[in-house]
């Protein structure tokens, strides 16, 4: 089975001048539209789990990110090259110290209810995201913002507590959307039942367990986009039924597909299979603040039981690459290759004995049923770790139950994460002590220092060195076992044009999609 080469993205804009120049280039939606792009049609796209959250600021999973992107806009968007591109902000500049960023917003933008969208709305939205009371996932991921100012209705100034070169990219976070100021300041509850954004589509119908229907926003800031008249997001919990629906033409595109279905779809008439290397991963999370995982020797012992090459074949069906217990894949800038961890059962037994578990350990490993690769990984871990003395019981549960009862609360469970736009965003989301989702509770002061220092530096060589040291710390201490990275897989009907998988896994940009010849006619 052939594997694509991961594109080398080692580029860096290491100063305010370069950053500003990139952002100030002339921009138009027409640059993205092929000459043959046509308007019309209603796209049906399938997702594998319910869209339970409509409020874009607290979305948690890919289907919710998709709906948020259809209905709302942010200041910036993420390109396939993992760079920031204009959205509501048409340009931006930084001062020489990279501590003050000035964003110039588009004029004439309106929300779906007809009210004007100004810099005041953007400022209020960012303040709502940064407010701990709102528990917004973007709080720790949009940058170290300490001050927000609005000099005029179309200018937004953001100040950070340290030099921060990544700010325009971190503002592409899928939950960093702009909502009306009145809602952001007076209560976000309203966004749980209706959508008032200024995105490319407006909400028609919201049925969380079944479908979400949106139609073209006639007031969108780009008069050319979106090309589609509407999008229907349909929930297909069963992957086989979902693939069959695509082959039959009942749906036009899948948000993602499992590796077990990919080959069938790749050989189906009228279907185009899509694939891109990514930093998406499953991790085996261990509560580092609770016994037995508060002893790093237990975590290290488990890591030595895992056959990583076998995991790529068994869990990823060959569509992926081995991981070495750091979440940074080769698809990231600042990736640092770590020594491969070979299976060493004897050493794993020794480590368990040194930690006081000479008779082995009885553990329960929890796995959500979505995606199904979580359960596959859990079963593989159970079998691989048994010879070392780990007696693991696998408990599988519905994803909704997992999110409510286990995620960020459990001691031993399988996590699932998309690639983040930057290494800093990844560490800030999951592994620094004050991370938004520090589910391992791994609180390492030296790791925190390395990440903070790298975030503050505009020197590319220095950042490379610091991020390499941070990855080494994770490789050695194993706050979570990360045995495999997944290629992103999807499929669409051949008449769907203008779409490309984004390595981030949480970026879709259906406003740039159109129908070609052979597309179905739908009302």
Q: What is the pLDDT, as a whole number, of residue 460?
A: 87
Tokens of 127: 């303040």
What is the extent of the structural domain holding 322? 279-487
Q: Is the pTM of this model over 0.85?
A: no
Query: Average pLDDT, stretch 142-147?
Result: 93
Interval 400-446: pLDDT, tens: 999 999 999 999 999 999 899 899 989 988 999 988 889 999 999 99
Given this model, what pLDDT does residue 423 score? Answer: 94
Do 508 and 445 belong to one domain?
no
- Do residues 314 and 206 both lie within one domain? no
Is residue 30 included in any domain, yes or no? no
What phi and psi, each to the nearest 5 degrees, are found at residue 62? -55, -45
10 within domain boundaries: no
Residue 348 and residue 418 share a domain: yes
Whether 499 and 469 map to the same domain: the answer is no
Rounded CA separation 335/403 (Å): 30
| CB-based contact 92:102 (threshold 8 Å) | yes
Looking at the fold, whether 347 and 471 belong to one and the same domain comes out as yes
Per the domain annotation, does 260 fall within a domain?
no
- Report the sign of the C-alpha dihedral through residues 352, 355, 357, 358, in that order: positive
Residues near 433 by beta carbon (within 8 Å), at least 6 away in sequence: 443, 444, 445, 448
Q: What is the total count of domains within the chain?
A: 2
Domain shared by 384 and 454, yes or no: yes
Structure tokens at 140: 């720790």
User: What count of other Cβ atoms lies within 10 Å of the Cβ of residue 143?
Assistant: 27
340 and 295 in a common domain? yes
Q: pLDDT band at residue 76, thresholds of 50, 70 and 90?
A: very high
Look at residue 400 and tell me if it is in a domain: yes
Tokens 């495999």 — which residue?
A: 484
Task: Give the model confidence (pLDDT) of 175-208 as tens digits.
Answer: 999 999 999 999 899 999 999 999 999 999 999 9
Kindly give, in sequence order, each residue whose CB lies less than 8 Å from that of residue 2, ignoring residues fewer than 6 positions away: none
Q: How far apart are CA 469 and CA 448, in angstroms?
A: 11
Percent of the chain with pLDDT over 70: 93
List pLDDT tens digits, range 163-177.
898 999 999 999 999
Identify the pLDDT of residue 11. 32
Residue 33 has pLDDT above 90, yes or no: no
Q: Residue 216's closest CA among 233, 199, 196?
A: 199
Task: Kindly compute the dihedral angle of the four CA atoms of residues 463, 464, 470, 473, in this order, to the nearest 10 degrees.
Answer: -150
321 and 451 assigned to the same domain = yes
Residue 60 exposed, middle or buried by CB count within 10 Å (0-12, 13-18, 19+):
middle
Token look-up 């488990």 returns 302
Same domain? For 307 and 450 the reply is: yes
Residue with tokens 């890591």, as numbered in its chain = 303
Instruction: Let me know: does 190 contact 56? Beta carbons within 8 Å.
Output: no
Within-domain flag for 268: no
447 membership: H or E segment, kind and range = helix 445-456
Same domain, 201 and 321: no
Residue with tokens 């076992």: 481
Tell whether 274 is covered by a domain: no
**Any domain includes 24:** no
Taking the C-alpha atoms of residue 505 and residue 420, their distance in angstroms, rounded to an integer, is: 8
- Size of the chain, expressed as the number of residues it contains: 523
| β-strand pairing of 89-94 with 84-86 | unpaired
- Mean of the pLDDT values across residues 98-106? 97
Do 437 and 510 belong to one domain? no
Residue 491 has pLDDT above 50, yes or no: yes
**Owner of token pair 């960023």:** 101
Q: Tell me, what's the pLDDT at 523?
A: 61
Here the tokens at position 430 are 């999951």
CATH of the domain at 392: 3.10.105.10
Q: What average pLDDT does range 472-488 have in this prediction?
A: 97
414 contacts 403 by C-beta, under 8 angstroms:
no
Residue 300 sits in the same domain as residue 199: no
Peptide bond before 371: cis, by omega within 30 degrees of 0? yes
- Residue 175: inside a domain: yes
**Which of 23-27, 442-446, 447-451, 489-493 shows the lowest per-residue confidence on average (mean pLDDT)?**
23-27
**Looking at residue 213, which CATH number applies to its domain?**
3.40.190.10
């Amino acid at each position: 089975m052939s594997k694509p080469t991961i594109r080398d993205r080692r580029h860096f804009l290491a100063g305010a001048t370069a950053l500003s120049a990139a952002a100030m280039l002339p921009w138009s939606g027409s640059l993205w539209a092929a000459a043959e792009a046509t308007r019309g049609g209603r796209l049906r796209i399938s997702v594998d789990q319910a869209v339970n959250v409509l409020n874009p600021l607290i979305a948690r999973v890919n289907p919710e990110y998709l709906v948020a992107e259809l209905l709302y806009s942010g200041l910036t968007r993420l390109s396939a090259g993992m760079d920031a591109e204009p959205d509501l902000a048409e340009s931006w500049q930084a001062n020489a110290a990279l501590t003050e960023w000035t964003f110039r917003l588009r004029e004439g933008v309106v929300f779906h209810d007809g009210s004007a969208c100004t810099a005041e709305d953007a400022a209020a939205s960012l303040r709502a995201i940064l407010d701990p009371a709102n528990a917004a996932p973007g709080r720790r991921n949009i940058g170290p913002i300490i001050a927000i100012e609005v000099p005029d209705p179309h200018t937004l100034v953001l100040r950070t507590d340290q030099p921060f070169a990544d700010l325009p990219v971190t503002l592409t976070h899928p939950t960093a959307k702009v909502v009306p100021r009145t809602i952001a300041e007076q209560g976000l509850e309203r966004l749980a039942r209706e959508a008032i954004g200024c995105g490319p589509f407006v909400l028609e119908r919201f049925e969380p367990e079944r479908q979400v229907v949106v139609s073209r926003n006639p007031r969108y800031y780009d008069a050319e986009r979106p090309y589609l008249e509407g999008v229907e997001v349909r929930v297909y919990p069963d992957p086989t039924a979902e693939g069959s629906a695509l082959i039959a033409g009942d749906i036009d595109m899948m948000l993602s597909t499992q590796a077990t279905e990919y080959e069938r779809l790749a050989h189906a008439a009228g279907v185009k299979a899509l694939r891109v290397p990514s930093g998406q991963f499953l991790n085996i999370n261990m509560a580092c603040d609770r016994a037995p995982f508060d002893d790093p020797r237990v975590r290290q012992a488990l890591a030595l039981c895992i056959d990583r090459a076998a995991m790529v074949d068994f869990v990823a069906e060959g569509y992926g690459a081995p991981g070495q217990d750091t979440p940074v894949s080769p698809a990231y800038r600042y990736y640092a290759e770590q020594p491969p961890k070979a299976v060493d059962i004897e050493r794993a037994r020794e480590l368990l004995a040194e930690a006081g578990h000479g008779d082995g350990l009885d553990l329960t490993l929890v796995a959500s049923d979505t995606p199904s690769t979580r359960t596959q990984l859990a079963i593989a871990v159970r079998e691989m770790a048994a010879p070392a003395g780990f007696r693991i019981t696998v408990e599988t549960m519905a994803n909704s139950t997992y999110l409510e009862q286990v995620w960020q609360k459990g001691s031993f469970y399988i996590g699932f994460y998309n690639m983040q736009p930057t290494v800093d965003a990844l560490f800030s989301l999951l592994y620094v002590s004050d991370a938004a989702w520090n589910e391992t509770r791994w609180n390492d002061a030296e790791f925190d220092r390395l990440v903070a220092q790298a975030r503050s530096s505009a020197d590319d060589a220095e950042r490379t060195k610091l991020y390499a040291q941070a990855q080494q710390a994770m490789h050695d201490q194993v706050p979570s076992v990360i045995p495999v990275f997944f290629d992103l897989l999807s499929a669409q009907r051949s008449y769907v044009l203008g779409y490309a998988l984004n390595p981030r896994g949480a970026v879709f940009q259906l406003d740039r999609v159109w129908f070609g010849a052979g597309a179905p006619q739908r009302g």
